Amino acid sequence: MKRVKLDRIDLRILRELQKDGRMTNVELATRVGISAPPCLRRVRALEESGFIQGYHADIAGEKLGWGLTVFTLVSLTNHAESDLMEFARLAASWPQVRECYMMTGDADFIIRIVAESWESFQNFLTHQLAAAPNVAHVKSAPAMQRTKFDPGVPIDEKNAAMPQDE
């Protein structure tokens, strides 16, 4: 693994963009204490090296009718790599599945599902998720209220030298 050394300015850029990815380059440069041209070069280098993977808007799903969030544990009957990958592909194809993680332990996957209502969630659960090939068991837990949301990861000085794939 190649080691990539980030300096304090790079870390400040990442921290500021993680908080607000829409700020102008001039504003970002001011916040991190450098001029705009080198700031833009650093941002482009961070994008090209994969530290910045994209920019996203945090959409208020409930305002668009997606007011229900359910976390669901899924256990499969067969655990061959091809079976696990097939379920992951299937989960990725469902628009209401917003996150999907392969797990170790009692469940094979945990997925975050959004729904318009209990009825629409139940319909998805019974006709798509539970009916999917190789699904043995599904256990769901509806979220009552989101009490914290910090996108990304903590960024501080200890992140200065991180291993990177070549």
Q: Which pLDDT tens digit goes with each residue over 66-107?
A: 999 999 999 999 999 999 999 999 999 999 999 999 999 999
Among 40-44, 104-108, 155-159, 162-166, whose mean pLDDT is lowest? Answer: 162-166
50: Cα within 13 Å, side-chain hemisphere: 6
Residues 80 and 115 in one domain: yes
Quote the domain boundaries for residue 16. 2-57
CB contact at 8 A, 4 and 164: yes
pTM: 0.83
Residues 137 and 77 in one domain: yes
Q: CA 75 to CA 110: how far, in whole Å?
A: 9
Instruction: Tell me whether residue 164 is in a domain.
Output: no
Instruction: Tell me whether residue 25 is in a domain.
Output: yes
Residues 49 and 119 in one domain: no
Total count of domains within the chain: 2
Taking CA atoms, 71 is separated from 100, 110, 157, in Å, by 10, 7, 33
Residues 123 and 138 in one domain: yes
Residues 76 and 49 in one domain: no
Instruction: Tell me whether residue 122 is in a domain.
Output: yes
Residue 1 reports pLDDT greater than 70: no
Residues 16 and 66 in one domain: no
CB contact at 8 A, 135 and 87: yes
Residues 38 and 75 in one domain: no
The CATH number of residue 53's host domain is 1.10.10.10
User: Which of 35, 57, 79 is the last residue in one of the domains?
Assistant: 57
Q: Tell me the pLDDT tens digit for each residue of 105-130.
A: 999 999 999 999 999 999 999 999 99
Residues 13 and 25 in one domain: yes
Instruction: Tell me whether residue 91 is in a domain.
Output: yes
Residues 66 and 137 in one domain: yes
CB contact at 8 A, 66 and 132: no
Residues 51 and 70 in one domain: no
Instruction: Tell me whether residue 162 is in a domain.
Output: no
Residues 66 and 138 in one domain: yes
The CATH number of residue 134's host domain is 3.30.70.920
Which amino acid, one-letter code, is at 89? R
